Amino acid sequence: MIAYALRRIALAVPVLFGVSVVVFLVMALIPGDPALAILGAFATPETVARLNADLGLDQPLPVRYLIWLKGVLTGDLGRSYALDRPVLDEVRDRIGPTLILASAALSLSVFFGLAAGVVSAVRQNTAFDGAVRLLLLVGISTPSFFFGILAAQWLGVELGWFPTGGMVSLFGGRGLFDLLHHLVLPAVTLAVVATAIVGRLTRAAMLDVLRQDHVRTARAKGVAEDRVIGVHALKPALVAVVPVIGLQAGYVLGGAVYVETVFQWPGIGRMLVEAIGRRDVLLVQGGVLVVATLYVAINVATDLLQAALDPRIKT
């Protein structure tokens, strides 16, 4: 298992290299004068020239990449001119709220997705199964931004059960309850689609495993049906579901963009939307790079979890 883990981690290195090239190129290929794009239309010729020299924009592309990469590896992601502070500081402040939101949403979707998928597979073709399947279909088709504004309006503004914004800082001294209270609506909104995807896949995987011969063997031994479902069917089904849970981690990290905007959550998604709006290119670059790196790490963890579940993988 350790050898497998090391090999899997080593495989992530070229992917991270590729990610850095893509992030670099995306920003380097911005049409027009990048310094103008960074500084905005009202920049003076002097500041443009200074920035060009700062960024090494007068150098050929590969050299610029190496300069940029050296900066990245030493923790220098450049400077947001609009915010007048280092990109790394801003990203560091914003990543925490996003991680809390995304992990809450992912936990909800794994729990409810697995439960819905397992129970509806076991009760296949009953009214319950029909209702769950319909609900899951509705779930994957829900525009989370629409769901978000409806939830904010109804449960937040009209019923006043939950705050619809106002999360300024995570540890502002108002305690865990305040955090959770603010977290409910955004986390549920973000979890809807992911729950439905996990649920649909779990149901399909469970039905697939329940048809397999080894489940019949367990029943022939007289194993209790709860155990047949919970151990003999669920564990092999999880082997198929875990990679999709990894994909959902990517979905909630991306979908956080909508939810953070709707609920004014001070995370990295809202930061990116605002940065794109004012063409704060270096901030976008830094944010995307950090989140993508995080996602690569999540994918490695997912693969390791899958290997832990299925002994056939780590050969």
- To the nearest whole angstrom, how small is the minimum distance from the Cβ of residue 242 to another protein? 12
- Span near another protein by CB under 8 A; candidates 43-51, 63-71, 165-173, 251-259: 251-259
Contact in structure between 162 and 181 (CB atoms under 8 Å):
yes
Binding residues for another protein restricted to 230-249, rule: CB under 8 A: 231-232, 235-236, 239, 249
Per the structure block, which two tokens stand in for 223? 């194993």
- Span near another protein by CB under 8 A; candidates 64-72, 87-95, 184-192, 250-258: 250-258
Which residue, 5, 12, 11, is CA-closest to 308? 5
Per the structure block, which two tokens stand in for 76? 């220098």
Per the structure block, which two tokens stand in for 139? 């779930």
Displacement of CA 50 from its chain's centroid (Å): 37
Among the listed residues 91, 291, 304, 307, the single contact to another protein using CB under 8 A: 291
Going by C-beta distance under 8 Å and a sequence separation of 6 or more, which residues neighbour residue 50? none
Contact in structure between 98 and 269 (CB atoms under 8 Å):
yes
Is residue 221 at the binding interface for another protein, with CB under 8 A as the rule?
Answer: yes
Interaction pattern, residues 38-77, with another protein; x per rule: CB under 8 A:
----------------------------------------
Task: Select 92 or 216, whichever has its Cβ closest to another protein.
Answer: 216
Task: Select 102 or 187, whichever has its Cβ closest to another protein.
Answer: 102
Is residue 143 at the binding interface for another protein, with CB under 8 A as the rule?
Answer: yes
Task: Select 51 or 234, whichever has its Cβ closest to another protein.
Answer: 234
- In three-state secondary structure terms, 32 is coil
Is residue 21 at the binding interface for another protein, with CB under 8 A as the rule?
Answer: yes
Is residue 200 at the binding interface for another protein, with CB under 8 A as the rule?
Answer: yes
| CB crowding 92-121: b at 16 or more within 10 Å, else e | ebbbebbbbbbebbbebbbebbbebbbbbb
Contact in structure between 232 and 296 (CB atoms under 8 Å):
no
- To the nearest whole angstrom, how small is the minimum distance from the Cβ of residue 103 to another protein? 14
- Span near another protein by CB under 8 A; candidates 43-51, 84-92, 150-158, 175-183: 150-158
Among the listed residues 55, 228, 242, 244, the single contact to another protein using CB under 8 A: 228
Per the structure block, which two tokens stand in for 245? 């849970």
CA distances to 68, 201, 206 from 228, rounded to whole Å, are 55, 19, 11
Is residue 126 at the binding interface for another protein, with CB under 8 A as the rule?
Answer: no
